Chain A
């Protein structure tokens, strides 16, 4: 299932709507990294609200996305991790270190706006 990537002002928003296969995740990674420069975006939001499972591959891929996007000159925020998912991830040692996280889309947008304001 392909993940739609929406452009919203300076930011890109990718909302994951159902459980993704590993191939879908890799596809999302490629698409985001390509589009972030093509759209001249300053931030990327990946919304995982509807995911009720986050396995090691998904969390590693999201971390890689964040690192690659940073190299491409933008910020990444993962938003909407469910409380149960968050605790399960931590127990599995999937901590998404160095990746910004926020409660939901609104928070993520606020976080990115603040970051781009302070760097501008």
Chain B
């Protein structure tokens, strides 16, 4: 399919090629015809599509009416994208749709599934319409398929991007909230850890704790890991290193609330427990810390 533009008969060759950049008119005419067809049969195709969605048990998180309403807007956006060949509006719509349906637990396969269903429904209606004229059907499909593929691609990518954005946002929120270093008494810090500790978070925790020891001039730190269900050997090791690094800064660390699973991990990795100061629960840890600091808590009066 080599084409030499300088050759005298190149214009003639171009005429024979429908759909190239230089000669899109027949294709765009076909696309216009296609769009008109889709507009004319809007109600029927939309219903067919919504029926197929329900049949395939997609979007089970949504009611029938909601599916139909979404199907209508997706359909209109789809036809518009076919007509204009621009995908910005569709992209924006896909993002907007994802924002609304992700919190309701709609999965990626469902979104891809419904777009592919629509593609199928429309293709079938084209087959039905042009079944007598095979050449025309072929050319219509030549115009339809690439655009439809791009639309499916745009919607799926939009959905996945939106999901990833939400995941990233949540990760950041967790990271920011996750490591408070709190002073409960003069020279006594507590560090409650909740949730899963990954190596990244463990490193951040250590940094914050060591910095906190220095700025608050802490002598005793209580690390409470009641809210940590499990940790792997790497993170357990990191915890032990944190304890040792704190000691180098002159602070004693008391670890409280070790779950049976974590105790198991720590024993399995063979940490010398003599160096770890552990107490069953947070209250016990704080009481021991107060003893270390020379505080004595006395009940002043009978509480009412």
Contacts and interface: CB of A to CB of B under 8 A. Distances in A.
Interface of A: 78-79, 81, 83-87, 89-91, 95-96, 101-103, 107-108, 111
Contacts of A101: 247-250
Contacts of A87: 206-207, 210, 241-242, 245
Contacts of B247: 101
Contacts of A103: 213-214, 217, 249-251
A94 B89 CA distance: 60
A26 B185 CA distance: 41
A9 to B, nearest CB: 20
Interface residues of B, number: 18
B248 A90 contact: yes
Nearest to B247: A101
Contacts of B242: 87, 90
Grouping DSSP codes into helix (H, G, I), strand (E, B) and loop, the A interface class, with mixed when no group exceeds half, is helix
Contacts of B241: 87, 90-91
Contact of A90 (B214, B245, B251): B245
The winner among B241, B242, B248 for most chain A CB atoms within 10 A is B248
Interface in B185-219: 206-207, 210-211, 213-214, 217, 219
Interface in B203-244: 206-207, 210-211, 213-214, 217, 219, 241-242, 244
Contacts of B250: 79, 101-103, 107-108, 111
Nearest to A103: B250
Interface of B: 206-207, 210-211, 213-214, 217, 219, 241-242, 244-251
6 contacts: A83-B214, A83-B249, A84-B210, A86-B210, A95-B244, A102-B250
B58 to A, nearest CB: 51
A92 to B, nearest CB: 10
Nearest to A78: B248
Given A83-B213, A84-B210, A101-B249, 10 more contacts: A81-B249, A83-B210, A87-B206, A87-B242, A89-B248, A90-B241, A101-B248, A103-B214, A103-B251, A107-B217
Contacts of B211: 83
A87 B241 CA distance: 7
Nearest to A106: B217
Contact of A89 (B207, B217, B219, B245): B245
Contacts of A108: 250
B247 to A, nearest CB: 6
Nearest to B272: A97
Nearest to B209: A83
B66 to A, nearest CB: 53
A83 B251 contact: no
A22 B35 CA distance: 83
Contacts of A102: 250
Contacts of A95: 244, 248
A79 B211 CA distance: 16
A93 to B, nearest CB: 9
Contacts of B248: 78, 81, 85-86, 89-90, 95-96, 101
